[in-house]
């Protein structure tokens, strides 16, 4: 093969297969002899969603692959963060795109809605793929007519989802990475012991400040102190591995005890050079969880605006079902929980010099 043949000419239209893409908008209202102008917007908007879902999944598969086989280093982390940033950027677009769809009024939608039965966004295979890739488990899903989410797909797609479920999700792969992070080997520095002392000191200061204020009466002071809690409430599962295991069994947390300690350590000491990139990675995963929940909520609100409390075209409870998924389908909740366990920088246990060297960029001429 000549060098020139490797770079044969191609036209913009053929490269992007625009004829195929732009001929994929078939309006049922036109086919049925009752053209509805707004159906074009409805189709294109949802086709664009599917294209973006394809790109998100492309990024997530690549991130999962980088976390496979314990093959994660600082260079891979930077690439992972970059690709997760792209996913976040896409979710921003998906949320903003709802505004375009809302330019269609409820009456406009009713002009062609009856032609959609029983099609439904619930039947989006790529979106289910996205959820499974991230780590949403079957037992955590809000059911659809009491049936599993795979029930609306043909056998081939069911098998693909089952295979994907059997593989490790991004959540599980990140958990394993956290468990083997080298900075958890702290030598003689007992992080949890120092952390517990720091928490007790912080709580004692806050209780003292509450009791000393003149702005509250005794009843509200007692209430505020109780709300403040102690090391046996908010901090219990990080102080006691057995307590954490109980929460795991109940499904109230997802990550292992060791991974949870790593998340806390990264969040508390995020300013140390080696921890800055891991912190950015965890932050991006938290952002994706937030944006996915926001997209679900905005979608639910759009459905409420368009349909009120009508049943969805796929037979779901419409707005109510979608609102429940926004509330219940969080994937990286354990990363959000880390904020509950944070303490002010002024209260942070001082790291030993040797530990600071390991977490920094330390060079020696010897």
Phi, psi of 147 (to 5 degrees): -105, 160
Residue 95, pLDDT above cutoff 60: yes
Residue 338, pLDDT above cutoff 50: yes
Q: What does each C-alpha distance from 314 to 110, 115, 155 come to in angstroms?
A: 15, 12, 19
Q: What does each C-alpha distance from 345 to 267, 282, 339, 350 come to in angstroms?
A: 11, 19, 13, 10
The secondary structure of residue 145, as a DSSP letter, is: T
Lowest mean pLDDT: which of 16-25, 233-242, 315-324? 315-324
Q: Residue 208 half-sphere exposure, CB side, CA atoms within 13 Å?
A: 6
Examine residue 186 and state whether it is found in any structural domain, yes or no: yes
Structure tokens, 361:
């960029």
Give how far the C-alpha of residue 332 lies from the chain's centroid of Cα atoms, to the nearest Å: 6
Examine residue 366 and state whether it is found in any structural domain, yes or no: no
Average pLDDT over residues 142-155: 79
Phi-psi region of 48 (alpha: psi -120 to 50; beta: other; left: phi over 0): alpha
User: How many domains is the chain built from?
Assistant: 1
Whole-number mean pLDDT of the chain?
Answer: 87
Structure confidence by residue, pLDDT tens digits, 37-84:
999 999 999 999 999 999 999 999 999 999 986 666 667 899 999 999
Q: What is the pLDDT of residue 50?
A: 97
Q: What is the pLDDT of residue 168?
A: 95
What CATH number did the domain enclosing 208 receive? 1.20.58.480
**Alpha carbons 22 and 40: distance in angstroms, whole number:** 12
Examine residue 365 and state whether it is found in any structural domain, yes or no: no
Q: What is the pLDDT of residue 183?
A: 64
Residue 366 banded pLDDT, cuts 50, 70, 90: very low
Examine residue 147 and state whether it is found in any structural domain, yes or no: yes
Average pLDDT over residues 149-169: 92
333 or 74, which is more confident: 333
Domain of 326? 4-359
Examine residue 32 and state whether it is found in any structural domain, yes or no: yes
Examine residue 271 and state whether it is found in any structural domain, yes or no: yes
Which residues are paired to 147 by β-bridges? Answer: 144
Examine residue 79 and state whether it is found in any structural domain, yes or no: yes
Examine residue 364 and state whether it is found in any structural domain, yes or no: no
By CB neighbour count within 10 A (0-12 exposed, 13-18 middle, 19+ buried), where does 10 fall?
exposed
Give whichever of 66-80, 130-144, 181-195, 284-298 has the largest mean pLDDT. Answer: 284-298
Structure confidence by residue, pLDDT tens digits, 14-26:
999 999 999 999 9
Average pLDDT over residues 121-130: 93
Residue 365 banded pLDDT, cuts 50, 70, 90: very low
């Amino acid at each position: 093969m000549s060098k020139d043949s490797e770079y044969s000419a191609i036209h913009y239209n053929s490269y992007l297969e625009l004829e195929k893409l732009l001929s994929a908008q078939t309006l049922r209202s036109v086919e049925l002899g009752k053209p509805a102008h707004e159906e074009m917007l409805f189709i294109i908007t949802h086709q664009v969603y599917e294209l973006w879902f394809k790109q998100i999944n492309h990024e997530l598969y690549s991130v999962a692959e980088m976390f496979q086989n314990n093959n994660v280093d600082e260079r891979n982390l930077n690439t992972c963060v970059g690709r997760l940033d792209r996913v976040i950027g896409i979710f921003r677009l998906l949320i903003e795109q709802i505004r375009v769809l809302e330019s269609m009024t409820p009456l406009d939608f009713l002009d062609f809605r009856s032609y959609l039965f029983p099609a439904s966004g619930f039947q989006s295979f790529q979106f289910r793929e996205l959820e499974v890739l991230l780590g949403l488990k079957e037992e955590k899903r809000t059911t659809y007519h009491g049936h599993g989410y795979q029930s609306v797909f043909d056998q081939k797609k069911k098998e693909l989802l089952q295979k994907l479920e059997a593989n490790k999700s991004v959540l599980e792969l990140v958990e394993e990475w956290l468990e083997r992070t080298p900075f958890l080997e702290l030598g003689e520095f007992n992080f949890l012991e120092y952390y517990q002392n720091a928490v007790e000191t912080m709580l004692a200061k806050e209780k003292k400040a509450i009791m000393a204020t003149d702005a509250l009466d005794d009843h509200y002071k007692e209430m505020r102190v109780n709300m403040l809690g102690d090391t046996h409430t908010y901090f219990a599962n990080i102080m006691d591995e057995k307590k954490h295991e109980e929460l795991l069994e109940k499904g109230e947390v997802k990550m292992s005890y060791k991974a949870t300690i790593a998340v806390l350590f990264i969040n508390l000491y995020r300013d140390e050079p080696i921890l800055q990139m891991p912190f950015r990675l965890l932050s991006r995963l938290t952002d994706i969880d937030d944006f996915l929940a926001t997209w679900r909520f905005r979608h639910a609100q759009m459905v409420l605006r368009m349909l009120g409390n009508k049943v969805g075209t796929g037979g779901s409870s419409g707005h109510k079902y979608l609102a429940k998924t926004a509330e219940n389908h969080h994937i990286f909740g354990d990363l959000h929980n880390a904020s509950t366990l944070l303490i002010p920088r002024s209260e942070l246990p001082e790291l030993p010099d040797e530990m600071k060297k390991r977490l920094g960029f330390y060079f020696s001429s010897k």
